[in-house]
Amino acid sequence: MNWVLLGVAASVATLVLLTLGYPLARIVGIRGFAAVGVAPAFAMTVICGASVVLPWAGIAWSSLPVLVFAAVIAAILGIGAWLTRHLRPSASEGSRFDGALLIALVLVSGLIAWRTVSVIQAPDAISQTFDNVFHLNALRWILDTGSASALEIGYMTNPEGPPTFYPSGWHAFVTLVIQITGAPLTIALNGSVLAITAVVWPLGAILLSRTLFGRSAAVSFGTGVLAASLPSFPLLPMDYGVLYPFQLGLALLPAVLAVTARFLGLTAVRDDVGTLWWGIALLGCLPGLALVHPGALMAWLALSAPLAAVRGVVAWRERSSMRSRIKVVAVAALYLGAAAAMVYVLRPPASARSWQPEMSYGEALIALASTSPWYASAAVLGSVSILAGAAWALISRTSVAIAALGIYLTAGFLFVVVAAAPFPFRDVFTAPWYNNIPRIAAILAIAVVPLGTFGIQKTWSMVAARAHRAGWSGPIVRNVGMAGVGVLVVISQVGPTSAMPDAERVASASFALTPDSPLLDSDEAALVSRLPEVVEEGYAIAGSPWTGASVAYALTGATVLMPHIQMEISENLDSVNQGLADAEPGSEVCEAISALGVGYVLDFGTREVHGASHVFPGLEDLDESSAVELIDAEGSARLYQVTGCTE
């Protein structure tokens, strides 16, 4: 039954993104597959915008007000489209059914869904990682408070402090799926992740390649096979972190890059929308990208720079007068200035970007060449396709090919810098991603796809042309092409030429529920599942968030004192953490216990999610304390009731 619920959650997550985004794409003038491909990016802008606006209007977070918000945006866009209808290019004929595109989408979605399900292993599994304490509890907090605003979610970790910004787009999206399906929080979360990896990512990747290189079957299949063969995305953000919001942001990124390319005129397909509305479409994508994760916005800035550079060179060559060329230089200077400002403003604080280099330059280049920069196994198809794509780009020297090469070289440069360069040089370029290798490794996978696809397309075109000259019939050539797709799938998914089995094995360890799981082990999970039967409503549970005790809030709805590891510690909270074990009537700690409503303590021992040690004296050695009474246990996991403040 839980697997069925997972499928329902994934389907609903997909429908939410398409229902909110597709109508807006059509109003803008985008048609056919492109409208489907950009729909998730538009939808996330709607969701993120609604999440900020609704609390100001005193409206609780739910699907109906989000639909109303989308309708308002649609009405505004519709009026604008009508007023500017004379500025649009003449519309092309309606899109024809593209069987190759459909098969490619089904193929890549199936392959990635298989890997994603293999990683999570169970429909209700949780990522046993540091960041997941916040992500899980933030979902519950939104459901409880009715606010998904990026300006308010910080109150979960600092209830008494000033409002702080935290990008909550992913959390807002997943809570909609929870509300609509009624599925348990963990199943709805995993279903949403499945939709992101197996639907949003393939749609965007194929859209970007088709935008740059045309709508041939070779482009669709080449992109599909590549998108399913790169371990750094979408699996790495599930393994490391866990980086759920960043994963969604990067899944949206190819579609946003496709819109950017259309706006700049770097495309192999006919434009029936117009520069004005492609620009509006781009503006419609960026807020969602930023509020899902600023790192994804900065990735767009980095990978769109080659597109802008190529367009600038083309514009320079097209203009012969000095006045026109000065305008090109002025626009380029404005772009660079805005980019530098964004890098400076959106980079994390210095304390959060202190990751150190982990490779030599030679090792970084080898990892880059393997197209599997975080895992031990090389992704052979990715490496070969990149070499082919680079060679063909230098041979053809078309603007779109050079742009694709530039995208890859930009990401490759960032990877080598973050992996091997010293401070402060690396901080200049990779600070927006915390100077952190896994994040840029994931971005690198995005950059591999268009250039690798170009290599596959051009190589196949050469083979097909020679086959035709040799007298092979069209059906035979097509059959050979389909057989080639099958070979590429095998090469990319199994055996020594594939990095995916290794990535799946490593990532799945982050979701395994065992007696030794780092965040919540099997005994602790069993005890947490019984909390609704044991814990009285209205009381909070103390416990170290480092040991996983805090995820009881997400999994059961029971109030916990510290819903995040990086909690702002108030005076009362500090008093409880330091002295609960010694509580006695009339003591200062009992006043704090009363003020915070503490009634229970979860004791999950000393094993912490990162293997470190953080001491809370008031929550330790409770088996020897007269201030608490043991009321439930599972293995070494203990639930105590606070009794020391009772006369």
Mean pLDDT of 545-562: 95
Average pLDDT over residues 171-178: 98
**Per-residue pLDDT, 197:** 98
The amino acid at 593: I
Q: Given a cut of 90, is residue 452 above it in pLDDT? A: yes
Q: pLDDT at position 224, please?
A: 95
Confidence bin at 630 (pLDDT 50/70/90): very high
Indicate the pLDDT class of residue 106, thresholds 50, 70 and 90: very high
Burial (Cβ within 10 Å: 0-12, 13-18, ≥19) of residue 326 = exposed
Tens-place pLDDT, residues 228-276: 999 999 999 999 989 999 999 999 999 999 999 999 999 888 777 888 9
**Mean pLDDT to the nearest integer, 371-390:** 91
Question: What is the per-residue pLDDT for 315?
Answer: 80
For residues 95 and 567, the model is more confident at: 567
**E strands present in 342-487:** none
For the chain, give the percent of residues with pLDDT over 90. 74
Confidence of residue 465 (pLDDT cuts 50, 70, 90): confident
| pLDDT of 600 over the 80 cut | yes
What confidence score (pLDDT) does residue 234 get?
Answer: 95
| pLDDT band at residue 647 using 50, 70 and 90 as cut-offs | low
Distance (Å, rounded) from C-alpha 351 to C-alpha 434? 9
Q: What is the reported pLDDT for 94? A: 54
Q: What is the pLDDT of residue 470?
A: 78
Mean of the per-residue pLDDT values of the chain: 92
Tens-digit pLDDT profile for residues 267-306 = 888 777 888 999 999 999 999 999 999 999 999 999 999 9
Select, from the ranges 178-187, 340-349, 567-576, the one with the highest average predicted confidence (pLDDT).
178-187
C-alpha span between 290 and 280 (Å, rounded)? 16
The CB-based long-range contact list for 102-106 (8 Å cut-off, 24+ gap) reads 103/221, 104/206, 104/217, 104/220, 104/221, 104/223, 104/224, 105/202, 105/203, 105/206, 105/220, 105/224
The strand pair at 540-542 and 598-603 is best described as parallel
Q: Treating both helix axes as pointing N-terminal to C-terminal, what angle do 294-318 and 244-264 enclose, rounded to 10 degrees?
A: 10
* Structure-model confidence comparison of residues 365 and 338, the more confident one: 365
CB 148 within 8 A of CB 61: yes
Q: How confident is the model at residue 559 (pLDDT cuts 50, 70, 90)?
A: very high
8 A C-beta contact, residue 34 and residue 207? yes
Residue 547 has pLDDT above 80, yes or no: yes
Mean pLDDT, residues 554-581: 93
pLDDT band at 145 (very low <50, low <70, confident <90, very high): very high
Question: With pLDDT > 70 as the criterion, what percentage of the chain qualifies?
Answer: 98
Question: Is the pLDDT score of 91 beyond 70?
Answer: no
- The predicted model gives 318-334 an average pLDDT of 75
What number of CA atoms fall less than 13 Å from residue 297's CA on the CB side? Answer: 23
Quickly state the pLDDT bin for 310 (edges 50, 70, 90): very high
Q: Which residues of 546-583 are buried (b: 16+ CB within 10 A; e: fewer)?
A: bbbbbbbbbbbebbbbbbbbebeebebbebbbbbbbeb
Q: For residue 284, how far is the Cα from the chain centroid?
A: 18
The rounded distance, in Å, linking the Cα atoms of 645 and 619 is 15
Supply the DSSP symbol for 243: -
Query: Does the pLDDT of residue 387 top 70, yes or no?
Result: yes
Of 422 and 85, more confident: 422
Query: How much is the pLDDT for 464?
Result: 84
Note the pLDDT tens digit of each residue in 398-427: 999 999 999 999 999 999 999 999 988 888
- 331-347 pLDDT, tens digit per residue, is 777 887 888 888 887 78
Is the Cβ–Cβ distance between 129 and 241 less than 8 Å?
Answer: yes
pLDDT of amino acid 86: 77
Q: How confident is the model at residue 467 (pLDDT cuts 50, 70, 90)?
A: confident
| pLDDT-based confidence at residue 97 (cuts at 50, 70, 90) | confident
pLDDT score recorded for residue 93: 52
- Residue 323 pLDDT: 74
Which tokens in the block code for residue 467? Answer: 């086959």
d(CA 527, CA 512): 17
pTM: 0.95
